[in-house]
Structure 1
Amino acid sequence: MTAIEAIRSGDLDGLKALLAVDAAAVDERDENGVPAAMLALYLRQRACADALIEAGAAVDFPLACALGLAEEVVRFLDACPELLAERTADGWTPLHLAAFFGQPAVAGLLISRGADVLARSTNKMENLPIHAAAAARQAAIVELLLDAGTPANATQHGGYTALHSAAQNGDQATLNLLLLRGGDMNLAADDGKTPAQLLPAA
């Protein structure tokens, strides 16, 4: 079993056993080049990510942003401000990661350092950080991104807006915020669906 396989199956004990006999396993990457610790976060396997880090997996800038390690983020940016614009192997900016993983302090820090709130992911989602925040029910970060100039009706691949995600998730806090900022519940995506149509049945 590889570290990637253990993470995908949620086998924390198996991962720890592997790391105990194969120190190099901490550096495994998946088929898209995503490091094992980041993959664990994507799959909501935080204990697996922690085990990898404890075993020596490097905490690089994207991972520090995803984990909300503000002091580390500052250290990285002080040494290399260009990191703000770098993308992960699977196409995300640091701000996307902070937004999706619910790290408002880091998101605010990145924005204050000049992160582009309108930077699109270079993957099939072609989305903005606000879409990542809305998908993860992160109303506080959605507000940060709106304040920083993201249009409430900005679209991602397929014509979906943050309101589409908020409506589908039944996330009333994000819905209310986007509506106050000009979000359109009747704006149809490419498939014809509007946010209003995605609201959970009462």
Structure 2
Amino acid sequence: MHRLKILGWGLIVSAIVTGSLTVAVMRVVSLNQPAPPTQTQEDFSVLRSHLQAKNWQAADAETRRILDPWIHQQGDFLSPPAPTNIPPTVLQSLDRLWVEASNGQFGFSVQQRIWAEVRSQHPTDSAAAVKAFGDRVGWTRTQNQPDPTFIAHDWLIETELNSSPEAPVGHFPWVGVDWQRISAMMSAQSCGSCTIDAMYVQGERFNQYIPTLFDWVGTALSESEPISR
């Protein structure tokens, strides 16, 4: 523990000198983050409970908790997300739980079909496909929705998601970063790039993540499916 504290403060001191405090703080935080699970089967009992209660917001947060160790290794959500690290069996089990609980309204397979449709409409423009996808599943802001954060712009933040029965098809699971993390980043002291980093997480990250994620979802769901626990 003492070595961890020394290493952490060493990174922060170094960052103050070099002007890269945001990255240093992320690295210190990541030292306490769990490594990606070594088994491809997870305990989905908490998720199943939320889904059975139709608590979509809590189920969404639990789904991200399960997937984050693979997507954001060592807790680093400023680096490009890596959805191809997610074992196919995990995606298959999560998808089945979401689809069954929502009667086909939510789930990765539902989203993947929508992605395939918008990608075929924008075969040479990935950014346009991502925007069209966000519009379809209700993750983007309409003209009548002001941005309460001044950094979110086109994409809704976690607290703005629609957990009602009228939510658009494919609205969950969400692929963004929870607002608590973004808010903590923006409130860090002596950080010259925090706003820029937050704008990346709430903007360009979607353009990077969505195409890779749903290409992988299409591959993962095509394999033999397991029985979820």
TM-score with structure 2 setting the length: 0.26
Relative contact order, higher structure (CA 8 A, sep 6+): 2
TM-score with structure 1 setting the length: 0.28
